[in-house]
Each structure stands twice: as structure tokens, then as C-alpha cells.
Amino acid sequence: MSLSVLHPSTPAEAAAAHRDPATAFIAGGTALQLSWRSPAPALTLIDVLALEPVHGIALQADGSLRIGAAVSLETLRTHATVAARAPLLAMACDSLAALAVRHLATLGGNLGWRFGDTVAALLAHRAEAELADGRRQALSDLLAHDRLPLILALHLPPPHPEEHHFYEKVGHRAAFTPARIALAVAVCIGMDGRLQDTRIGLAGAGLSGRRLLHAEAWLNACQAARLGAADRGLRAAVAADLPADPASARLAARILGGRFGRLQAGDAASEPATSP
């Protein structure tokens, strides 16, 4: 048996086909096929691009932004509404792959890979996944599944008007390599200069997408201006979030400490940065 492709016409049909463990959803396929050795495995690909609900970017009546899972990474990178309503996602796509790969690759595919830069951004934006039956589930909960179900779209709540964002990707080269870590941060600063509602999404090589909940809790109620890159409390909190990877924890803590240390009220740190 060689590789075959199914073309379901409805989400329900695609989800039903996926109950067979020898199947995989495919959209752009830019990452999926790189995991095969020739010849291709005995696998049935479930083509999701023909499904209508996986396309399009639209503002919803409740103010959230709905992004179809099949939207290309290049569309996300250059889309004015995404830049305004999901800035971390736009930043992530700006330092992800190259133009021609971004034309092929999709948000859902990057998410399904689990280690993709967009996952960090989606988590910091509190994204919810829209599933085949129309239900919505927090992406952070969904990522706990061993095998991700069909995701039709991502719903992102509107950012707080005073929210600051920063995104940083650290790789072995400036471009075109999987990130050691990608960090996406959304945070508000209260009238008293204290951090509030901090959300930190992280993904990277060998690090599936996750929120850094210990670090978030530690940072909330800190004075932004008093943080530094060597802050022991922050280092300990990030280490608790990444217990199996102390090197990445040190790296993440240095980035967070440095960025938060420079973050002053009224000084939005929203420039994407890719460190070589």
C-alpha cells in the first residue's frame, strides 16, 4: 500500500476519516512531507483545502478575529487586519520561512506541527480553535492532545487597547532555520507601573507550543521598570515552566528580563526582532 489522498467535502467527513490512525490532515504539506523518507509511507492524507470553512479572515460580531486554518502564512504576514488585531501573529510570520514557502504553508499546518512560531503567537493572543463540529476550545487545552483533531479556524479575542506586544525568535542563524525558541508576549501595564494580564507563548525546536504560566504569574504585579535580564525570580519561574530544558529556560529568561526591563508605560515594544 502506498500513499493515497482523500478529498472530503465536509468537516464531518474529514473528522470521521481521521479516526483511522493511519491518516494525517494535509494542507500545504511543506513540513509534513519532510518527515518522510522515500518512498512515502503507507498513509492516507486527508486534504483539508477543499473544505469551505478553513478559508478566509473575518472580523466577527463579537469583536474576535476568525482566521481560517488554511490561510497562508504570507497572507497573514501582509494582512492589514491581522497586523492590527493579531500583531504577534503578523510578527511571527515575518520571521518565518521564506516567501515561496509562506505561499504554500498554512496557519493550520504550522499549528499541527506543534513547534511552529505561529503557535507561540496564537497562545499569547489567547486563541481558541474552532473544531469540526463547530465547538470552540482554548488552543492551550487542545495542544495537550496527543493527536490534534481537525481545526477549521482560529478565533482571537480583540487585544486590549493598551496592550503591549513583543515577539522574539532566536535561532542559530538570522533566517531560515527552526527557532531555538520563539517567544510571543502580550502584556498590559497598570497605572502604577505594574504588569497585568501577562501572556507568554513559547515554541521552538523540540519544544511544542506552550504558555509559560509560572513566568506569567511571577511577572504579574511586578514593576516593569525594575526587571532585569538576570532577575533570579524570573529565572526560577521560567525554569519551572521548562523543567526538562534548562538551556532554553535560561535563554527565555534572559530575553524576557531584557525585554520587560526596557518596557516602560507608553513605550510599546512592538518591534519584531530576530536574533542571530
Partner 1 sequence: MSTVRFKLNTQAVSVSCAPDRRLLDILREDFGLIAAKPGCGVGRCGACMVWIDDLPANACLVMAFRLEGRSVRTYEDVAADAASAPVRDAIARCGALQCGYCTPGLAMTLTHLHQQTPRPDREQAASLLSGNLCRCTGYGGIQRSIEQLFPATPPLSADNSGDSQ
Contacts of partner 1 in 91-120 (CB under 8 A): 97-101, 103-104, 106
Contacts of partner 1 in 183-202 (CB under 8 A): none
Is 72 among the residues that bind partner 1 (CB under 8 A)? yes
Contacts of partner 1 in 115-154 (CB under 8 A): none
Is 175 among the residues that bind partner 1 (CB under 8 A)? yes
Element holding 204 (H helix, E strand): strand 195-204
In angstroms, give the least distance from the CB of 99 to partner 1. Answer: 5
Our CB check for partner 1 shows the closer of 56 and 193 to be 56
Residue 200 in 3-state DSSP?
Answer: strand
- Which member of 20, 42, 52, 56 binds partner 1 (CB under 8 A)? 56
Cβ–Cβ under 8 Å, residues 180 and 205: yes
Site string for partner 1, 216-255 (x = CB under 8 A): ----------------------------------------
Is 71 among the residues that bind partner 1 (CB under 8 A)? yes
Is 81 among the residues that bind partner 1 (CB under 8 A)? yes
* Other Cβ atoms within 10 Å of 119 Cβ, number: 30
- Edge to edge, the sheet with strand 57-59 lists 57-59, 65-68, 151-156, 128-131, 136-138
Q: Is 179 left (phi over 0), alpha (psi -120 to 50) or beta?
A: beta
Distance CA 168, CA 202 (A): 10
**Chain positions contacting partner 1, by CB under 8 A:** 2-5, 28-30, 33-34, 40, 45, 47, 49, 55-57, 68, 70-72, 74-75, 78-81, 97-101, 103-104, 106, 175-176
